[in-house]
């Protein structure tokens, strides 16, 4: 433990020196300690240009791959760093100098267990792209297919684990020094960062994500995913079909090729909506560099290292919340937060409704084309502290993805909002998922889930009874009575549930037949 502390303090010194060189500490942080503010004015480089978020982005890029990923994570946490800084960090370029092609070849041969010449007819020495985690080389397979080969950076796993250990140490220290930060769940934030980054460094998981996303859009020509070459994919190597086309932000080239940018925007809007609401599995890094327009004017996505998932309950909450904001029903917005358990019950629903009104009222009487749903979510998360709303990592990732997608939409046509184009899809989804039939199916699913747990509950009761009989478990008489009451209550509710299921099945059968 002393060694860990000494090592982390040494690394903090390096980080502090880099932050000082770029004058990248938020102004409010030194102000919390007047003595430190004087010290920071002495060591900080006041001549460094740009906003503090831009300076911080440059500092993180200088610190290396893990810190670039950290900056990308912080860009989703406007509740922590503020909306302006979050937007600046979202511009952080995930680019690093490439490592030598010879090293890439050696990694490919080691991972795939064969000489490069047996795997590929040709393998470009110079990568087409180099990021913090990996770089990409074009190649041609032995059977003549053009592919893109993604190769993990040498030593990146060990460097990442050292940095993650530092982040955990800092999270623990922050809560110890400032207990009120516990609400922001800093350790869980590091957990999320560590989990997503480890998945990014396991390229077979990225291949699986690409495959799942492709399956979700099977039969939809407007959005596609490159095919995976599983024979040439391993933990540190990912081989995909090579994509040809224009990047979605290359407006002049799209116009010259005769593509309708509004039509492309409509396809992008529909694909993003379907990922989030229909499938609950979305590409969480849809910046312009990861979206291509192919020769047919359809969209192809690449780079599946960062993906997000939303369960059905979260999607329903999201739909209810968005509709509440857009229609001015702020009570509805507040209620869905309380029902989802995001805001503790002891908070005032009236005051929370008032806070929601303060966010939503400026949107009223504005055309949908001028409304940013991503920014709306950012403003909502910014008021969470006073209502003790715990961080919801899946929603923060979605909020960042929405801002990125809206940015793509503005590039294609600044006068049209992607949500305006997706509105028919949203309305259809709401009818299908919030109507009476959907409510019946939800209740049926919940009841069946309860009945499925019945054998486990019975087994637990039997084990407890055995322990009591053998004298291995002593219970207070009031505890025994409570357990019996709960058991009787469950048995009665299960019998009632069975009758409800029979009635529901009868109704459904009558409607179908």
Catalytic residues: 285
**The two three-digit tokens of residue 488, written as one number:** 């009787």
Closest CA to 170 of 183, 189, 157, 197: 189
Taking only Cα atoms into account, the Rg of the chain, rounded to an integer number of angstroms, comes to 27
Cα 294 to Cα 373: distance, rounded to the nearest angstrom: 28
Name residue, tokens 């690449």.
Answer: 302
- Interatomic CA distance for residues 251 and 261, integer angstroms: 8
SS (H, E, C) 7-22: HHHHHHHHHHHHHHHC
Residues found in the chain:
513
b/e map of 304-319 (b: 16 or more CB within 10 Å)?
bbbbbebeeebbbbbb
Pairing of strands 223-224, 299-301: parallel
Torsion-angle region of residue 153: left (phi > 0), alpha (psi -120 to 50) or beta? beta
Three-state secondary-structure class, residue 259: coil
Helices (H), 78-202: 78-81, 83-90, 101-112, 116-119, 156-177, 186-200
CA angle centred on 395, ends 390 and 401, rounded to 5°:
145
- Residue 363 tokens read as 């949107």
- The DSSP call for residue 301 is E
- Close Cβ partners of 120 (under 8 Å, ≥ 6 residues apart): 139, 140, 141, 142, 149
Residue written as token pair 């032995």: 142
Q: Which two tokens stand for residue 419?
A: 């949500």
Output the CA–CA distances (angstroms, integers) from residue 292 to 207, 257, 263, 408, 513, in the order listed: 18, 14, 14, 12, 47
How far, in whole angstroms, is CA 407 from its chain's centroid? 17
Q: What is the largest CA-CA distance in the chain?
A: 84
Q: Is 50 left (phi over 0), alpha (psi -120 to 50) or beta?
A: left
Nearest to 386 by CA among 358, 417, 420: 358
Distance CA 354, CA 348 (A): 10
What are the residues facing 140 on neighbouring strands? 122, 146
Dihedral sign computed on CA atoms, order 433, 435, 438, 442: positive
């Amino acid at each position: 433990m002393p060694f860990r502390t000494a090592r982390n303090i040494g690394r903090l010194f390096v980080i502090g020196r880099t932050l000082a060189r770029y004058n990248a500490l938020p102004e409010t942080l030194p102000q919390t300690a007047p003595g430190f503010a004087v010290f920071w004015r002495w060591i900080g480089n006041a001549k460094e240009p740009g906003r503090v978020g831009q300076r911080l982005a440059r500092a993180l890029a200088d610190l290396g791959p893990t810190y670039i990923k950290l900056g990308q994570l912080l860009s989703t946490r406007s509740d922590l760093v503020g909306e302006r800084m979050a937007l600046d960090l979202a511009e952080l370029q995930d680019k690093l100098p490439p490592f030598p092609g010879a090293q890439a070849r050696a990694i490919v041969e080691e991972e795939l267990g064969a000489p490069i010449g047996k795997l590929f007819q040709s393998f470009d020495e110079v990568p087409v792209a180099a990021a913090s985690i990996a770089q990409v080389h074009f190649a041609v397979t032995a059977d003549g297919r053009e592919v893109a080969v993604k190769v993990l950076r040498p030593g990146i796993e060990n460097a990442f684990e050292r940095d993650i250990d530092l982040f955990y140490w800092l999270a623990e220290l922050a809560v110890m020094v400032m207990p009120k930060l516990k609400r922001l769940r800093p350790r869980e934030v590091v957990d999320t960062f560590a989990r997503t980054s480890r998945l990014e460094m396991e390229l077979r998981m990225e291949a699986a994500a690409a495959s799942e996303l492709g399956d979700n859009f099977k039969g939809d020509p407007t959005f596609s995913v490159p095919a995976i070459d599983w024979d040439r994919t391993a933990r540190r190597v990912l081989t995909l079909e090579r994509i040809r086309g224009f990047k979605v932000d290359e407006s002049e080239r799209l116009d010259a090729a005769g593509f309708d940018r509004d039509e492309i925007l409509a396809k992008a809007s529909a694909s993003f909506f379907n990922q989030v609401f229909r499938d609950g599995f979305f590409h969480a890094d849809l910046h312009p560099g990861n979206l291509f327009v192919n020769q047919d004017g359809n969209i192809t996505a690449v780079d599946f290292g960062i993906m997000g998932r939303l369960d059905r309950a979260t999607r329903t909450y999201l739909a209810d919340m968005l509709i509440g904001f857009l229609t001015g029903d702020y009570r509805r917005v507040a209620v869905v937060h309380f029902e989802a358990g995001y805001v503790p019950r002891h908070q005032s629903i009236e005051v929370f409704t008032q806070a929601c009104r303060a966010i939503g009222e400026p949107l009223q009487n504005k055309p949908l084309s001028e409304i940013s749903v991503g920014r709306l979510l950012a403003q909502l998360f910014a008021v969470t502290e006073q209502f003790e709303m715990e961080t919801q990592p899946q929603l923060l990732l979605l909020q960042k993805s929405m801002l990125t997608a809206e940015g793509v939409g503005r590039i294609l046509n600044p006068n049209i909002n992607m949500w305006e184009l997706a509105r028919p899809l949203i309305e259809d989804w709401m009818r299908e998922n919030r109507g009476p039939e959907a409510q019946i199916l939800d209740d049926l699913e919940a009841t069946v889930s309860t009945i499925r747990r019945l054998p486990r509950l019975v087994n637990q009761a039997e084990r407890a009874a055995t322990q009591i009989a053998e004298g291995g478990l002593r219970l207070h008489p009031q505890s025994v009575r409570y357990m019996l009451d709960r058991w009787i209550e469950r048995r009665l509710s299960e019998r009632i549930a069975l009758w409800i299921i029979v009635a529901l099945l009868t109704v459904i059968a009558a409607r179908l037949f």
